[in-house]
Chains A and B, each alone.
Chain A
Amino acid sequence: MSKDNFNKYRRQFLTAATAVAGVTIAPGVILNQVHAKPVNQPVSSANRWGLLIDANKCATGCNDCVTACHTENGVTGYGRPATDSQWIRKVKLTDKQTGHVQTIPMMCQHCEKPPCVDVCPTNASMKREDGVVLVDKHACIGCRYCMMACPYHARSFVHEKTTDQKYPRGKGTVESCTLCVHRIDDPNGAKDPACVDACNASGHKAMWFGDLKDPNSEISKRLKKYGGEEIRADLGLNTGVRYQNLS
Chain B
Amino acid sequence: MKTPQFKELEGRSPQFFILMIVLAAIAAVGIYSAFLMHHEGHIITGMTNRIVWGTPHVFAVFLIVAASGALNVASIASVFGRKIYKPLSPLSMVLSLTILVGGLMILILDLGRPEHLIDVPLTQFFYNSMPSRWSQSVFGWNMILYTGFMGIVLVYLWFTLERRFNKYTKAAGLFAFVWRLALTTGTGLIFGFLVARPGYDAAMLAPMFIVLSFAYGLAFFCLMLIPAYSWSGRELGDAIVNRMKTLLGIFVAAGLYFVFTFYIAKAYSADAAQGVISFLLFGDNNYSTAFWFGQVLLGGIVPIALTLLPWFKSRGALIIASIAVILGGLSQMYVTIIGTQAYPMPLFPGKVVESVTNDGGIAPYSASIYEILLGLGGIAVAILLAVFAMNVLRILPASLADKDTDPHHTAS
Contact = CB atoms under 8 A, between A and B. Distances in A.
B347 interface: yes
Contacts of B52: 144, 147-148, 157
A119 B49 contact: no
Interface string A109-121: 0000001001111
A157 B196 contact: no
B137 A145 contact: yes
Interface string B35-47: 0001011110001
A154 to B, nearest CB: 10
Interface in B103-146: 111-114, 116-117, 119-120, 123-124, 127-128, 135-140, 142-143
B355 interface: yes
A225 interface: no
Contacts of A89: 355-357, 359
Contact of A96 (B47, B139, B195, B350): B350
B130 to A, nearest CB: 12
Contacts of A148: 52-53, 194, 197, 341
Contacts, number: 168
B348 to A, nearest CB: 5
B41 A172 contact: yes
B145 to A, nearest CB: 12
B90 to A, nearest CB: 32
A85 B112 CA distance: 15
Nearest to B337: A148
Interface of A is mostly: loop
B124 to A, nearest CB: 7
Most chain B CB atoms below 10 A, which of A81, A83, A95, A97:
A83
B351 A172 contact: no
Given A121-B120, A123-B127, A160-B41, A82 B50 contact: yes
Contacts of A145: 137, 139, 190
Interface residues of B, number: 54
Given A115-B195, A147-B52, A153-B357, A121 B41 contact: no
Most chain B CB atoms below 10 A, which of A96, A145, A152, A160:
A145
Contacts of B195: 115, 151, 235
A92 B355 contact: yes
A60 B117 CA distance: 44
A231 B346 CA distance: 10
A92 B196 contact: no
Interface stretch (A39-47, A134-142, A181-189): A134-142
B351 A86 contact: no
Interface in A34-54: none
B41 A139 contact: no
B210 to A, nearest CB: 21
B358 interface: yes
B354 interface: yes
A143 B352 CA distance: 31
Interface size class of A (residues with CB under 8 A): 35 or more
B357 A172 contact: no
A231 B347 CA distance: 7
Given A82-B49, A119-B136, A91 B353 contact: yes
A81 B357 contact: yes
B227 to A, nearest CB: 35
B8 to A, nearest CB: 38
A93 interface: yes
A115 B139 contact: no
Contact of A151 (B140, B193, B347): B347
Contact of B49 (A153, A170, A172): A153
Contacts of A90: 355-356
A220 interface: no
Given A91-B354, A157-B47, A170-B113, 17 more contacts: A83-B48, A90-B355, A96-B350, A119-B193, A120-B140, A121-B143, A122-B120, A139-B116, A141-B120, A142-B113, A148-B53, A149-B196, A157-B49, A159-B49, A171-B41, A172-B111, A231-B348
20 contacts: A80-B43, A82-B358, A83-B43, A83-B48, A89-B356, A94-B351, A94-B352, A118-B136, A120-B139, A121-B135, A121-B143, A123-B128, A123-B135, A124-B116, A139-B119, A142-B111, A142-B112, A144-B112, A147-B49, A157-B47
Q: Nearest 7 A-B pairs (CB), nearest first? A: A142-B112, A172-B112, A151-B196, A121-B139, A82-B48, A144-B52, A121-B140
